Structure formats: structure tokens, C-alpha cells
Amino acid sequence: MTKSAFRNWQRVQDEVLRRIQTREWKPGEMIPHEAALATEFGCARATVNRALREIAETGLLDRRRKAGTRVAEQPVAKATFDIAVIRQEVETRGQRYQHRLIERAERAPPHAVSAAMATAPGAKLLYLKALHMADDRPYALEDRWINLEAAPGARDEAFAETSANEWLLKHAPYTHGEIVFSATSASTDDADALACAVGAALFVLDRLTWHRDLSVTKVRLVFSKDHQVRAAL
């Protein structure tokens, strides 16, 4: 295959898959860096990045920021989660949606947040706290940080009518991210916001999204214990 054939990311993907399947690249082995592969294939680095990203979604490659890419030792099927528009989620249930902004401020986040989002210590982010309602009852409590470098338009958005959840999905593209699901006991603040008892079991979704190497937003959504999340395998 000539180099010109690799200008299409699907062709790069096919060649990478061939090398994995024939054990030219063995399980657990680091593969060449994107820049080296782009030079070898005679294509743009973005073309290689797209191909590797698509393969990583299948579980055949393990990609880690600043650590490179290796062939997965034990490939596993990965679940695909869509980022839901909470308004649509509520309306699909046949309920009336409302959004209540509790707090909006530009300020430096806690160290744990700036470290997770890879922003400079002391750099200001946009902080939002909001409550999503269904038929006048609390549905989800949102605690969010937005990187204004990745989503500069958020600085001029009031988020009084449109939630950050919906605005970001329309105006701030992302390339990848990570989601953590957990359970927690309601704190006093959680209980006040969600109209539940202190200590009640709650469902928590923590999500961090990126646009290439730039973090976009970090959000913590707290739902009542009966909340469900579905994924495609």
C-alpha cells in the first residue's frame, strides 16, 4: 500500500488493525507515537489520531495522556454512554422540566479540580451550581466547573434559562472524556436541595470531558437513588 493511500483515516485504521491482529504489535506492547506513524504513513498527525481513537473505542488499544498508546493485553468490550440533555431526559418521562440556577461565579477551583482539569493553579474557571426539576420536584443537583479557554462563550451566557448541560452540548465540542458512577449518602446540602433525608442513598455521576488536550468541563450530578443509566455495549 502506498503512502498516498493512508491519507484517509479508515485506511490508517485498517493498517493498525492488521498489525494488531497479526501480532506485529503484540499485546501489552507500546506502539509508535502518532508523529512517527504520521511520518511513516505520509499523512497528517490528526489522521493518525482519529484512527487510533476509533480503535481505542473498541478496547484494542489502551491510550493514556502523556503515557502513549499500547496494544491492550486483554481487550474488553467497552460500554458507550451518551451525554444526555437532562431537559430531554425529563420530558421523555412525560414530566415538565425546570432549571434553577443556584450560583454562578468565576473563581479559582480547589486544587483537586484544577489538577483533574490540568489547568494552572489559581487560574479562574466558571463555577455553576444548579438544580434540575421534574414536575416541580428535584431531579438532579449539578455542581460544575467550565474551562473558559475551551468554552469562551460560556462567560457571556447567564445560564438562567438554558442549563450548562444543554448549552455545552450545543456550543463546546469534546473529543473524549471519562465518567465515574458512585453512590453516596445525602449531606445536609444535598438533602436540602433534593428534598430527601440526610443520609439517604443517592446516585452520583462525575464526568470530565476534553477537547483534545484541553479540558472542557468537570461536573458532578447527584440524583435520587432510583435514577438509572443505560449504555450500549
Q: What is the DSSP string of 12-69?
A: HHHHHHHHHHTTSS-TTPBPPPHHHHHHHHTS-HHHHHHHHHHHHHTTSEEEETTTEE
pLDDT in tens, the chain (233 residues): 555 567 789 999 999 999 998 999 999 999 999 999 999 999 999 999 999 999 998 889 998 877 889 999 876 555 666 788 999 999 999 999 999 999 999 999 999 999 999 999 999 999 999 999 999 999 999 999 999 999 999 999 999 989 999 999 999 998 889 999 999 999 999 999 999 999 999 999 999 999 989 999 999 999 987 777 766 65
Is the pTM above the cut of 0.85? no
169-228 pLDDT, tens digit each:
999 998 889 999 999 999 999 999 999 999 999 999 999 999 989 999 999 999 987 777
At 227 the three-state DSSP class reads coil
